[in-house]
Amino acid sequence: MTKHIMSAAVGLGVVLGGCWSIYAVSTNKVSFGYNNNYEPDQPIPYSHKLHAGQLGIDCKYCHNTVEVSRHASIPPLNVCMNCHIQIRQVGGKDSPHLAKLVEAFESGNPIQWKKVHLLPDYVRFNHAPHIKAGRQCEECHGPIREMDVVKQYKEMSMGWCVDCHRQQNKPALTNCITCHY
């Protein structure tokens, strides 16, 4: 008798769990793998709000491969040091964060920045044609000039990309081989 009750309870749990899973996925209560709002802690705090927003530094100054490469690239330390060779204080005080930057530059050890915008390995995304077509960074990355800490602002799913291509009337770019290896 106890065996039957236990089997029925387990069976009911599986059925209810399955129903909840189907409901959660079909109503977008749960999304898998899109990393929305992913906001990793970086080894050195970096404010796009300050650099790109208040100071008006163009995205392409730091991410200088975005027009010619698949990747926008994380800036090499020498790009940071173009300014920070002289600017080493924040609010009139020596900054321990800028000291870490200078130390890494002088030692030749790169900062281990954490990637924010993650796509699956089988997706072939190339920034260059998007930039050449006039797309603005904010269209995919959100209001980057207002972010103290960068986060993944859009879902960057296949459906999201395809919808954008369709809205831009680029039907040839909805061919699977365009983005998938």
CA-closest candidate to residue 139, choices 153, 125, 128, 118: 153
Residue 89 has a pLDDT of 77
| Mean pLDDT across 131-144 | 91
Average pLDDT of the chain? 83
Lowest mean pLDDT among 39-53, 79-93, 104-118: 79-93
Confidence (pTM): 0.73
Cα–Cα distance measured from residue 168 to residue 137, given in angstroms and rounded to the nearest whole number: 16
- What phi and psi, each to the nearest 5 degrees, are found at residue 90? -125, 120
Residue 86 has a pLDDT of 87
Residue 20 has pLDDT above 70, yes or no: no
Cα–Cα distance measured from residue 20 to residue 14, given in angstroms and rounded to the nearest whole number: 10
Question: 171 pLDDT band (50/70/90 cuts)?
Answer: low
